[in-house]
Structure 1
Amino acid sequence: MELTLKRYEKDPYPGCGFFVEGEDPTRWIAAVDRLGLDPAHIRVYGLPSRRANVPWGYLVITTGELPADKLDPFASAHLAASQLIVPAKSRVLPELTDHDLKQLFREDTYVLHPDFGLFKLMSPLLMSDCLVVEEVPVLASLRPADYVVSSGEVVAFSVAATPREDIESALDAGVAREKLADAPLSLAEKLRLKLYESVMTGDGDKATLNPRADKLQRLAVMLGLSGANAHDHLLEDFRDLQNRNKREVDKLLDLMQKDPEAALRYAIPLDEHGSSRGGPKGTFKMRDRGSGFSLFGGRAGGAGGSVDIGDELHRLRQQYVATARALENSGKHEKAAYVYLKLLKNHTAAAETLKKGKFYEKAAVVCLRYLKNERAAAECYEAGKIYAEAITLYEKLEDWEKAGDLNVLRGDDESAQTAYERQLEKELLHNALIRAAKLSKEKLRNLPRAQEILLRGWEENVNAYNCLQYYLANITDGEAAWREIKRISEHQLNTQNDRVFLKVLSGEYAKKDEHREDVKDMAYGLLSKLLSDGRISAHELLAFNDKNSRLRADTLRYELSKHKVRTRPPA
């Protein structure tokens, strides 16, 4: 008789030990020590390789089956028959009867392995033969004092919250106040500017002299200018007078383009009293408007009286937006947030800008004070790892799962369990059974309770399909899952859930495990009953015969014939 091993998806035989590959005996000794096995309750055998005088490894026989996760990286050994040991996930062909064992092996025990074939186990190795124990001399010693050594492992990490008043004080600390050194033009200066305009073209840096040299010469003489640099002095004086004669809004826009940070001291909020179209009449004055870039202080203004920027509102708004973006792109997120919050009154953009700059705590304060959005503030605190403040807000919002997750990050497992339990009760109260089951399994580590919840959903017809599908998916043992399918089929089917059960069977059939044909037979029995009752379509057969083209055609003809019978007019 020729014995062969066939690869099998699961272990068909019980475990009896494990294989240790390699000729070094210290490997199996180290494995026994790591697994905590008692040497008095194990047997170890040497195994040959296909090369002469070179061992393949060792077989360690234990008194009970060891979990596969503990054995890694060693391969478990399984007892295929009372006298034959094989590797994991393999089946012996042909199957052996007691008579076969008696004829083949008599009273001996053999190992069948793909690496070295069939081998008869002889006398087990003795650990004393593999170890050399030297006598340890007795030394006089003193017991050291007790001490504690840090493991060096970081169990949890979080950032302590800054007191709110400290945040506001830091943000209120602005730049020094300044006055714009820019006096209005006198009568003489205004007349001189008129003369310049008659011989100059263009504005500012683009101003040039008119080619009418005679008039230009008379003007230079009139102003007492002469020499080679007379024309340069004329241009410089013209540009200075022209700049001082600009309207205040133009001055502000020019300053924002040249030095946006300095210009913010003189900017006005667009919805400040009198700053929008139709507000009180007056004149906008370029004056320092306060303590600087304060996000949480009072009004940014105070000096300058009422303003009316009229048609300049749109142009000023565009410049504010451009300035905010420029500050943000240069990494000055707090100053960009000042523009959004205080000048444009765009609180959402201010919070987002602070988040981009990773000023999460300040962004949270903006969300709470201006947006009144506690969830957004909690998310900001969470991003900044300020878990205590985030947990307080999530608990207020009754988002207990999120509070539990953050308590886990803080290392407070007891508070996390309490929060998860409250979330579980909330989900059950709203019949969200799938979420409740996942919470029990993944967060509370309570799989039996999760299965109870899912089975309740199936029995009470609350999201029955998904509940039963997840219930069976949580049973990792194929035999146990099949037994549960049979139990439900025999004791829990009724006209309210039999079609749902058929849909679940189609999913189990698609898994292609060892009970695939059993599932198909069960589905055929249920299909027959439902078809005879006229409660389903024959197309349901295709879920269990997806590659049968002839059945697909027959099913279509059957459905068409039924339709003709229903629609045939009475004689």
Structure 2
Amino acid sequence: MELKLKINSKNTFPKGGIFIKSTSAEVWLHEIQNIGLTLDSIKVFPIPGVRANELFGCLIVFNQNKSKIADIGKNNFYQLAENKLFIPENTLVTPELTEEEWHKLFSEEYHFLHPEIGLVELKEEVNWLDLLHLPNLKQIEITEPSKTVLIPQFITSMRIEVDQEKILEGIENPVSEEEMIEKLPFNMKKLLNGNNREMDKFLAYLEKNPEMAMKLAIPLDTLGTGRGGNGGSFSFNTGIGGLFNFSWIHRFLANLSSGDSSTGFFRYGFVLLFVVLARSCKGSELKSSLPSILVFIGIVIFVIFMISLWAGSQSGSSGSSGGGAFLIDSNRFSTLQSRYEKLAEDYIAREQFEKASHIYLKLLKNNHKAASALENGKLYREAGAVYLKYLQNKTKAAECYEKGHAYKEAIGLYKELNEDEKVGDLYAILNNKSEADKYFNKVIENYKTNFQYLKASLVYKNKIGDITNAQELLLEGWKTNKDAGKCLNNYFANCKSAEELSTAITNIYTSEVSSVNAPVFLHLLKHEFTKHDELEEMIRNIAYEIAAERINGSPEIASELVHFNKNNKSLLKDVMKYKLKVKNKG
């Protein structure tokens, strides 16, 4: 019998194979990989050519139920007829064979029919182990690296270490002495000793060079000038007018009492003259000696005055003429003060908060404004250092350190202030849960001691994340009537589902509602009534029971039932009639 292939418009048999036309096994393997098949899921049979020892291609046999193949490239699908014969797509075999003829003509092996080479029996599969040459494995020694430091993928917390002394040094001494540039048009030594002429020169210089105040750093309280007015004194030359300021007498007496050899001669001379005068003034001779005494006193005053001028010149504070002491006037002090304040305000306007803080801290001696300027400029760590050192305000210092992420310093201060909840919050930010919970539990115990069950439950819930203990504390507050209404309201609010809320309401109504707290419980039911539709009937029934038990003693409780029947207009009328009836009886 001669079998022939005939073109057909459709496939008569199911697809069961893929034909790859190539004489190279390497090409076969490459095509199999491109199609997406694995060698353990298919069978591959070589197809011989028309000449001896020549290959025509290969046939891939696959299981259609397990392998879903979409793209086979330039290769061809083959039909599998009666599980015996592979024929090309869109063909059929003539003549048509019966089932008996199929079994009689074909053995148990697969057969392949192609127009160019004819019929081929497929007896042997491709043995890939014979075809593939694996590379020689090279023996290598692997050196394992030592364990490295784990690099986190995410930043979970951040803190900044603060050197308080270094921060304050930058504020207190922003300019080094070496940065003092040009020659100053005034005598700094005389200025610091309070010479008014030098003060005028200094003020004029600051008018033209306001920022030099930062470099010169002459505070308002130099030589005791204090905070304005005439509270402090400067020593400088004022001529004869200085005689009428009697502070020179104090200086002279101080010179007499000192051990300085330069004043020894005058000291001993003055004592000798005093002894001579005393001996000459005895009894009745006093009256006749009065003119001599007056002359002597004048001489002594003149000597004292001259000594005072000489001592002033020796101290380095004298000018071109006689010396004395004088009080600084308010105008000069106020001018200097206003210049400093204006300079600080200008720095703040330019957002140079550290320079403004230096003016307030070192020149104006206003520590509070210095700290406020830094805080307003969001220089929180610097502000915290000023609050702590100069104002001894630990609370503000801790707040600023917290804002500046200097958590270590903030935690230390909050511990000193016994702010346990703040300490716990900061440990939580640092992901130190064990330490955070330790301080949160201190807060909880303190609240429990004071019967503040609601606050204690919020710490459990929001800080520790323990809803079970939070609910127990709220229930304890309800039982002991310590802020009972708010405790039970929060207890119900913590119920996440309708089923959980239903169980909570039923259990509490059954075992924890008495004649004392029933009105509060009924009031709370109004808030829970509208949360879940499926609970409305159950809550309404409980409300009816509570009202029925109390209505004789408290007729006004009937009004509460309206909240559980808002669409029932007749109930509202009945309640009003009932209350009116009770009122008329009374």
Q: TM-score, normalised by structure 2?
A: 0.53
Cα distance, 1:356 vs structure 2:
3.0
What does 1:62-77 correspond to in 2, within 5 Å? none
What does 1:332-411 correspond to in 2, within 5 Å? 332-411=352-431
* Matched AA of 1:181: P
The CA distance in 2 between the partners of 1:497 and 1:331, in whole Å, is 60
Cα distance, 1:378 vs structure 2:
0.8
The CA distance in 2 between the partners of 1:546 and 1:522, in whole Å, is 16
RMSD: 3.8
User: In structure 1, what is the equivalent of residue 21 of structure 2?
Assistant: none
* Matched AA of 2:144: A
Q: Does 1:165 align with 2:165?
A: yes
User: In structure 2, what is the equivalent of residue 145 of structure 1?
Assistant: 144
The CA distance in 1 between the partners of 2:358 and 2:564, in whole Å, is 65
The CA distance in 2 between the partners of 1:150 and 1:478, in whole Å, is 45
Q: Does 1:156 align with 2:160?
A: no
Q: Is the 8 A contact 1:458 1:468 kept in 2?
A: yes
What does 1:252-401 correspond to in 2, within 5 Å? 255-264=205-214, 265=216, 267-269=218-220, 273-275=224-226, 276-282=228-234, 308-311=328-331, 316-401=336-421
Cα distance, 1:445 vs structure 2:
2.2
1:464 and 1:310, CA in 2 relative to 1: closer, same or farther beyond 3 A?
A: same
The CA distance in 1 between the partners of 2:222 and 2:585, in whole Å, is 76
Cα-to-partner distance string for 1:284-333 (whole Å, 9 max, x where unaligned): 99xxxxxxxxxxxxxxxxx9998633256655554433321111121221
What does 1:458-497 correspond to in 2, within 5 Å? 458-497=478-517
SS of residue in 1 equivalent to 2:533: coil
Cα-to-partner distance string for 1:11-34 (whole Å, 9 max, x where unaligned): xxxxxxxxxxxxxxxxxxxxxxxx
SS of residue in 2 equivalent to 1:416: helix
* Matched AA of 2:518: D
* Matched AA of 2:158: F
User: In structure 1, what is the equivalent of residue 563 of structure 2?
Assistant: 543
Match of 2:185 among 181, 201, 205: 181
Aligned residues: 353
Q: Does 1:431 align with 2:435?
A: no
Cα-to-partner distance string for 1:343-401 (whole Å, 9 max, x where unaligned): 44433321121123343222112212232221211111111211111111111222222
Could you tell which deviates more after superposition, 490-499 or 250-259?
250-259
The CA distance in 1 between the partners of 2:332 and 2:202, in whole Å, is 11
1:157 and 1:281, CA in 2 relative to 1: closer, same or farther beyond 3 A?
A: closer
Structure 2: 5+ residue stretches without partners:
1-128, 189-195, 238-315, 318-324
The CA distance in 2 between the partners of 1:252 and 1:341, in whole Å, is 20
Q: Is the 8 A contact 1:252 1:263 kept in 2?
A: no
The CA distance in 1 between the partners of 2:555 and 2:140, in whole Å, is 87
Structure 1: 5+ residue stretches without partners:
1-134, 185-245, 286-302, 567-571
* Matched AA of 1:269: L
Q: Does 1:506 align with 2:456?
A: no
SS of residue in 2 equivalent to 1:260: coil
SS of residue in 2 equivalent to 1:418: helix
Q: TM-score, normalised by structure 1?
A: 0.54
1:492 and 1:336, CA in 2 relative to 1: closer, same or farther beyond 3 A?
A: same
Could you tell which deviates more after superposition, 247-256 or 144-153?
247-256
1:548 and 1:257, CA in 2 relative to 1: closer, same or farther beyond 3 A?
A: farther
The CA distance in 1 between the partners of 2:454 and 2:541, in whole Å, is 29
1:271 and 1:466, CA in 2 relative to 1: closer, same or farther beyond 3 A?
A: farther
Cα-to-partner distance string for 1:415-454 (whole Å, 9 max, x where unaligned): 2221222222222222221221121122222221111111
Match of 2:461 among 437, 441, 466: 441
Q: Is the 8 A contact 1:531 1:538 kept in 2?
A: yes
User: In structure 2, what is the equivalent of residue 533 of structure 1?
Assistant: 553
Larger radius of gyration: 2
Cα distance, 1:459 vs structure 2:
0.8
Q: Is the 8 A contact 1:155 1:411 kept in 2?
A: yes
The CA distance in 1 between the partners of 2:498 and 2:206, in whole Å, is 72
Cα distance, 1:466 vs structure 2:
1.2
The CA distance in 2 between the partners of 1:454 and 1:559, in whole Å, is 36
User: In structure 1, what is the equivalent of residue 294 of structure 2?
Assistant: none
